[in-house]
Chain A
């Protein structure tokens, strides 16, 4: 049974339901955020009187911040509350009567969002390279392909992390703030606010033992062609390990909390 096709089609319809809002937000977020980031870095480059900082030139920094908003969206897939909201209002009941796994269904809806934002990234990446005159060389496309692949792996890992936290809603009154806290950590230590190359070396050494740099910085660096093969391989290995840890945590949480769900909502 190809139930997943219907789920994916339905999610796409939901994403595009309010088109004017969608496009204004998408263009506004991407363009304005890049312009603000570029203005900040331009002032820093000018203040330092240099053209390269930690291996980044201003055009490279611009590309980095073009990718960042979409990287955040790919990783975070569906919005905060994609599971807890349904537990709180009781609509979670439907997953208990569907003849499919609740985990599979949720991962699929989550990844549909991530895939959608990946398509936007491909589009923007290609347009940027055409505008700045780099063209679309085979090397660029290969980097983009590997970058998207790692982005989707990171989305799977973050989905499991998010699911573990969202399932706390079976015990706690509200987990929204917990999810936002995790986002702050992931975005800051993952490299959304600024490239991790600017962090002190001791901080980078410590961060390697966490999932954060592999969730955002690694796929961005890969897309930009900055990541080495060793970096990609070890990063993917780390994502795999963290993915297993978070999946097991989510499964354990569900096993422990399933019987606490009363189906009524609060």
Chain B
């Protein structure tokens, strides 16, 4: 790989031998297989350092401070001590429940849809794929406003007229913990169904057809083919989708914000990020807000590690 025709031929070789040697040295750096990768990732590293690493470090430091203009001071662990209050636990509970439901809904259903839309017998596949994917292109806020109108309290709103058709009483959807969770999870499911379906479709299309043919020759039925070929081949995709759903669930903010902003009755719509936002910006407690952020980071990191270990990504067992 080493070039043997240096471009500085026009320079008189006798004039400055030292400089030439310097030139090759610099060039060697750029041609070196060891260094070149770092040159290429440098822009990323710089952006990462400036816009991710610095804020993270600074958040960590701020979580031990009381931050006021001109009067910032270290207050030890007091911000973390203050976390032990019912509002924080409510936010943690809401966020965890929300994440649980999104995982329960946003993995099996998109998988099923992907299988249906990958099947040879389904007609108009492209049309249906497009339909299911389109919600992902809308903004959560816009979709949320529509959801709010569909599920308004009045009897004439869509949600209530629908359930009243089946003989139920009208419901104040945004006012109760259960129904609000239904709205938030529903909004997330509606928006992310298509994206997760695309992941699974990609996975499905990477499964060699020969596997199914061989299985058919061996006399396997549809369920057995699904159980012993489709699922194992989809495992990497599933682990990936599970990971992003878990993280997306814990950092959820918009789905709650569109329904109640950050002040919901009885805090039924308060999420961890919402709590961070409320304390940091609405009560001017940036230090305490940072402590919430650091705690969220720790929670997500632990859950992520457990999840990856259980699914075998870090354990080494899954690789075999």
- Does chain A bind chain B? no
Interface residues of A (CB under 8 A from B): none
